[in-house]
Amino acid sequence: MKKKMIPVLVALFFILVIGAAALGKVLIDKYSYSKELADWNEFYQVSGEQSAIILQDEMVEEKAIIREGICYLDLSTVHKYLNEIFYADLGENLLLYTTATEIVRVNLGESSYTTDAGSMDMGHTIAYAEGDVVYVAADFVKCYTNFSYDIYDRHVQIYTEWGSKETADITKATAVRERGGVKSPILRELAEGETVEILEEMETWSRIKTSDSIIGYVENKRLSEKTTVTEMPVTDYEAPEYTSIALEGKVSLGWHAIYSVSGNDTLDSVVSGTKGMNVIAPTWFSLNDNEGNFRSYASADYVKRAHEKGLQVWGVLDDFNYNNEEGAGIDVYSILSSTTKRQRLAQNIADSAVSLGMDGINLDFERVNSDSGIHYVQFLRELSILCRKYGLVLSIDNYVPFHFNDYYRLDIQGQVADYVIIMGYDEHWHGSGEPGSVASIDYVSNGLDKTLEEVPAEKVINALPFYTILWKTDGGAVTDSYLTINNTAEFMSHVNAEIVWDETTCQNYAEWAEGTATYQIWLEDAESIAVKLNVMRAKNIAGVAVWRLGYETGEIWELLSAYSGS
């Protein structure tokens, strides 16, 4: 019997051995540390000359290019994360950087750049283009931007912000892994005593960054000597200051519509009834071709006579009057996107202002579309340098701000210009086909609030309309006609309509019928202007502008004079 049991016992023994071995293998497979190395190209999602960008403690989707040991960033990446002032003109093979005082120029593909002080060579290509993408050397960007960067194998670390960080020492040689878990691929080995930055601490693993900016995971049991370290910010670059000219007291500006040389003769008549006005803005200059030239009705004698009346003269440069009069097909994009044309325009208008003895330039570009936005902003930067150089006031006219016209960049205007004027009207406009107020109180107030989010109050001027619109609805057709404030009272006296105060718009409103037509009017008058001025006073902005001289009444000038404190 015993002999018969021996084979059974042997079999059971081997079964137990095999089972133990199998169980041991399972346990080893489950709990042993994987030695699989991560594929860095796959981890960083790069190939060829590409390097991943680690911005602060996160990998962003954009890539750097490492060429001959130099780190290059495409211009959109520079704009997004570092500095939006860099401007490329592919048509003229240029990269520009515009400060408050000068324009730095780089010819794409070259190693030198030019400033007012002369030419400097960096010893490598500063910027180059591949197709329609411009790449800029990070060390050139750093000449005008406070940030730090380091180049590693297949990744670049960039810091733009500094504060404090928590660090820890490695107690025993271990691996940094892609994810938390002993089976995750290894990014690199860590030696005992190395210091790492702790980005996020979890139950058994921590997300860390190594000294060479590899971000991965390490077991908590390998971390000790936790310390808080204060980071040293980069402050190498100090930008030249944007200085501004400010008039004493509030600005009270009147636009003087001049559409021929003979229009200058109306100066005396248009200012005779004004009170408290200290700036006159004649509509003298208008783009008249696609080369950056303009038509001029300007007169040095006009400037002299205006000065004798105690008025500053801010000549208006617009992009629409000549085009509207002549059907000239002026292409604003063509002018502004060409550095040669754009700088010709800026220099010529500044030279005209100086030669005429003008005190400032009032820029009224209303045909800028979203494609032209970056070029318009560059024009403002370049024109502001000349105005600052020659002591000219630069004021810029704008629509009431909305999301669809934000490319006019009020934030940048508030930096480079002396005054930002909001044309607080055209809520409903000629030809809009929708009856309504030209400038309801909410429209004005909300427009100023949005402006003040981006522009200092001491630079903001609100423009008031000296006109209103009479709306006629007949069947499904809506037509309209203008009424100036000085003609409104007489017009309404001939209309059999009750005028009532509308609290929503803070305007007097009238509606009446003639035959099959319905007429509506939201009046601009002393009452509506007074409410607007009260809102402007409460927001403590820089002043008021009016469109246009010759449309007003003496009663309204009394209100404007009281507002401006004169």
Which tens digit of pLDDT belongs to each residue from 474-511? 999 999 999 999 999 999 999 989 999 999 999 999 99
Percent of the chain having pLDDT more than 90?
94
Q: Are 466 and 435 in contact (CB under 8 A)?
A: no
Residues contacting 346, CB < 8 A, separation 6+: 379, 382, 383, 386
Q: Which residues of 301-310 are buried (b: 16+ CB within 10 A; e: fewer)?
A: ebbebbeeee
Close Cβ partners of 82 (under 8 Å, ≥ 6 residues apart): 73, 141, 145, 147, 158, 160
DSSP 8-state symbol, 37 = B
- The predicted pLDDT at position 27 comes to 41
List residues bridging with 53 in a β-sheet.
Answer: 156
Domains parsed from the chain with CATH numbers: 42-156 (3.30.457.10), 164-230 (2.30.30.40), 251-466+524-564 (3.20.20.80)
pLDDT at 5: 62
Q: Over its length of 566 residues, how does the chain's per-residue pLDDT go in tens digits? A: 555 566 655 566 556 545 544 444 444 445 589 999 999 999 999 999 999 999 999 999 999 999 999 999 999 999 999 999 999 999 999 999 999 999 999 999 999 999 999 999 999 999 999 999 999 999 999 999 999 999 999 999 999 999 999 999 999 999 999 999 999 999 999 999 999 999 999 999 999 999 999 999 999 999 999 999 999 999 999 999 999 999 999 999 999 999 999 999 999 999 999 999 999 999 999 999 999 999 999 999 999 999 999 999 999 999 999 999 999 999 999 999 999 999 999 999 999 999 999 999 999 999 999 999 999 999 999 999 999 999 999 999 999 999 999 999 999 999 999 999 999 999 999 999 999 999 999 999 999 999 999 999 999 999 999 999 999 999 999 999 999 999 999 999 999 899 999 999 999 999 999 999 999 999 999 999 999 999 999 999 999 999 999 999 999 999 999 999 96
**Residue 536 CA: distances (Å) to CA of 193, 533, 542:** 64, 5, 9
* DSSP 8-state class, residue 145: S
Helix (H) or strand (E) holding 132: none
Look at residue 241 in the predicted model and tell me its pLDDT: 96
DSSP class per residue in 271-300: HTT--S--EEEE--EEE-SSSS-EEE---H
Token representation of residue 58: 């996160």
Tally DSSP H helices, then E strands, for the chain: 15, 34
- Note the pLDDT of residue 496: 86
Give me the pLDDT at residue 18, please.
Answer: 57
How far, rounded to the nearest angstrom, does the alpha carbon of residue 82 sit from its chain's CA centroid?
14
Whole-model pTM: value is 0.94
Q: At 447, which helix (H) or strand (E)?
A: helix 441-452
User: Dihedral sign, CA of 299, 300, 301, 303?
Assistant: positive
Per-residue confidence (pLDDT) for residue 30, from 0 to 100? 56
Tokens 């520009």 locate to 96
